[in-house]
């Protein structure tokens, strides 16, 4: 196992919103990427969690007649943790901003930044969007429509902002303009994709202004250690989860401190493009102010759209993940959203498109291939995988295609081109299905060509071995079942221990493996209720 830790985070999701497939999309992408790195033999840490402070949570809790902490506890237990199971996320940690470890880390961080001279007392007056929990600049607002015509509204929520006037503590963001530009010039990979990098550079070059790092009119938050009458501004609290979760602020010599040394800086922060400014401008400036190294990459993916608009609880366009998973299954959910949408671009969810891909690519493609292969080994070889014998031209060609597919998929996933990686594996599945049609093992069996039949059946099953390994980070349930049907565990070990970097090496599935035709990997689906 390599010494470096591949540390990936999702944004921490604002607990006051119900989870929708946009949230699950980000988590799924993070899960697939971290599973892939695990199957490269790397040490991995996958973090997700919830953002629980701020005005919006406090007001909603009051409206429901409960304390903010009770409100957060209920939402985390009933909504946010369950969605991880819904999409089969294998996260290593779940951080809550109301946890004691986070509070201690946040207070220690801002003490360090203040000691370094990057915080000062002042007053803020201007627009604030409670929905975004964000201080807005005039250029962030747009003309309202319909009931808000004639007013300036938040471009994200389409609702009027509030006017604030309060004494706050300010962070000297302007001091880091040149350092941020120099960092991004030296490390073009630090913000991806290119469109996001260009947006960040443009914003920094336009000039950075100091920003409030505290609130005096909000009580639901983490108190400033030197001014308990104020709480840390919710974003400057939330962003710190990426370091507090891995031990920042812990006493030297403790396991938590050791974890921080081994894990930070992060390898990838996955974020939605609407929160790019916080993660690629404010966050790295905060880290510089505290003397900490910057994350390797902030990757801003696009939005999932419904009816041409970003999903939103406010606009009633959110779709709960279980609505899709209950019908198609979690594997199909994971496959579809990373296969059908280029990561980094906007994409529209279509139930019809998902149903079509499920049938064509999963049920008729991989599922049918597995069913035919295992059934033929049971029928013609009594369930015992035969020896491959000598490879003919068709088998050699398929061997070479598996090697190429594995290399292409690995290269693609490492740069977060999930669609490209999955597409390369899917093309190999198609090639194997064509091989089955062309070689017609049922004809070989009928004609008594036993040696040739055995070579063909081994080739199909060995191809499925490679497919199972490569698809495992994407579809862990189906591939685990396929691994069992191939009898691979006895000779090769658990599928999660197989290296994707070795998936293309031919001849690994041992002859003599016990092959069993099991349940359909992707069963026929009933039409959803209208």
Q: Please identify every residue annotated as catalytic.
A: 20, 23, 129, 132, 154, 157, 310, 313
Radius of gyration of the chain (CA): 26
Distance CA 225, CA 109 (A): 10
Q: How many residues does the chain have?
A: 530
Distance CA 182, CA 145 (A): 41
Helix (H/G/I), strand (E/B), else coil: 153: strand
Distance CA 205, CA 178 (A): 9
Which two tokens mark 449? 């060509």
Residue 442 parent element (H or E): helix 441-446
CA dihedral 26, 30, 36, 41 (to 10 degrees): 180
Do 297 and 344 touch, CB atoms closer than 8 A? no
Biggest CA–CA distance in the chain, Å, is 89
Residue 311: DSSP 8-state: -
Angle, vertex CA 21, rays to CA 16 and CA 26, nearest 5: 90
Distance CA 504, CA 15 (A): 42
Angle, vertex CA 59, rays to CA 53 and CA 60, nearest 5: 90
Distance CA 238, CA 53 (A): 8
Distance CA 376, CA 393 (A): 22
Alpha carbon separation from 247 to 38, 144, 364 (Å, rounded): 22, 44, 47
Which two tokens mark 199? 């947006």
**Tokens 């295992």, residue?**
374
For residue 86, give every residue at least 6 positions away whose Cβ sits within 8 Å of its Cβ, in sequence order, or none.
24, 321, 322, 325, 330
Burial (0-12, 13-18, 19+ Cβ within 10 Å), 524: exposed
E-strand ranges in 346-463 read: 347-348
Distance CA 167, CA 184 (A): 33
Distance CA 297, CA 190 (A): 4
Distance CA 515, CA 126 (A): 69
Distance CA 521, CA 310 (A): 33
Among the listed residues 435, 359, 430, the one whose alpha carbon sits nearest the alpha carbon of residue 392: 435
CA dihedral 222, 223, 229, 234 (to 10 degrees): -40
Handedness of CA 467, 471, 477, 483 (dihedral sign): positive
């Amino acid at each position: 196992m390599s010494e470096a830790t591949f540390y990936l985070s999702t944004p921490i999701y604002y607990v006051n919103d119900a989870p929708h497939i946009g949230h699950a999309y980000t988590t799924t992408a993070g899960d697939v990427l971290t599973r892939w790195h695990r199957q490269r033999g790397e040490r991995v840490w996958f973090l997700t969690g919830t953002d629980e402070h701020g005005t919006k949570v406090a007001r909603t809790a009051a409206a429901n007649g409960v304390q903010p902490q009770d409100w957060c506890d209920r939402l985390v237990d009933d909504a946010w943790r369950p969605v991880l199971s819904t999409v089969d996320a294998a996260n290593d940690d779940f951080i809550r901003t109301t946890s004691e470890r986070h509070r201690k880390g946040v207070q220690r961080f801002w003490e360090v930044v203040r000691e370094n001279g990057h915080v000062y007392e002042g007053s803020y007056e201007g627009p604030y969007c409670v929905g975004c929990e964000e201080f807005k600049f005039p250029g962030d607002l747009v003309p309202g429509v319909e009931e808000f015509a004639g007013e300036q509204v938040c471009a994200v929520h389409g609702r009027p902002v509030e006017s604030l006037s309060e004494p706050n503590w300010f962070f000297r963001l302007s001091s880091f303009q040149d350092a941020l530009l120099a960092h991004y010039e030296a490390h073009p990979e630090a913000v991806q994709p290119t469109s996001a990098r260009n947006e960040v550079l443009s914003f920094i070059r336009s000039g950075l202004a100091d920003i409030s790092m505290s609130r005096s009119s909000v009580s639901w938050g983490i108190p400033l250690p030197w001014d308990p009458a104020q709480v840390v501004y919710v974003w400057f609290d939330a962003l710190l989860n990426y370091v507090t979760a891995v031990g920042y602020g812990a006493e030297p010599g403790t396991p938590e401190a050791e974890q921080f040394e081994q894990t930070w800086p992060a390898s990838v922060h996955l974020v939605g493009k609407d929160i790019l400014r916080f993660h690629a401008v404010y966050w790295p400036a905060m880290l510089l102010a505290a003397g900490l190294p910057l994350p390797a990459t902030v990757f801003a993916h696009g939005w999932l759209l419904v009816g041409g608009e970003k999903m939103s609880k406010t606009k009633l366009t959110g779709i709960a993940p279980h609505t899709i998973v209950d019908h198609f299954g979690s594997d199909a959910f994971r496959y579809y959203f990373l296969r059908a949408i280029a990561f980094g671009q906007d994409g529209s969810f279509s139930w019809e498109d998902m149903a079509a891909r499920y049938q064509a690519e999963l049920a008729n493609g991989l599922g049918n291939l597995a069913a035919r292969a295992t059934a033929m080994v049971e029928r013609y070889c009594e369930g015992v995988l035969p020896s491959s014998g000598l490879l003919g031209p068709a088998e050699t060609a398929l061997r070479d295609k598996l090697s190429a597919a594995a290399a292409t998929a690995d290269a693609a996933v490492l740069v977060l081109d999930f669609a490209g990686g999955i597409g390369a594996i899917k093309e190999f599945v198609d090639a194997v299905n064509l091989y089955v049609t062309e070689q017609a093992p049922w004809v070989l069996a009928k004609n008594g060509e036993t040696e040739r039949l055995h070579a063909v059946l081994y080739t199909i099953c060995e191809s499925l071995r490679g497919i199972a390994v490569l698809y495992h980070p994407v579809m862990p349930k189906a591939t685990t079942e396929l691994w069992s049907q191939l009898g691979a565990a006895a000779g090769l070990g658990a599928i999660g221990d197989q290296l994707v970097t070795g998936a293309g090496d031919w001849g690994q599935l041992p002859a003599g493996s016990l092959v069993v035709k099991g349940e359909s990997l992707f069963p026929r689906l009933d039409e959803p209720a209208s």
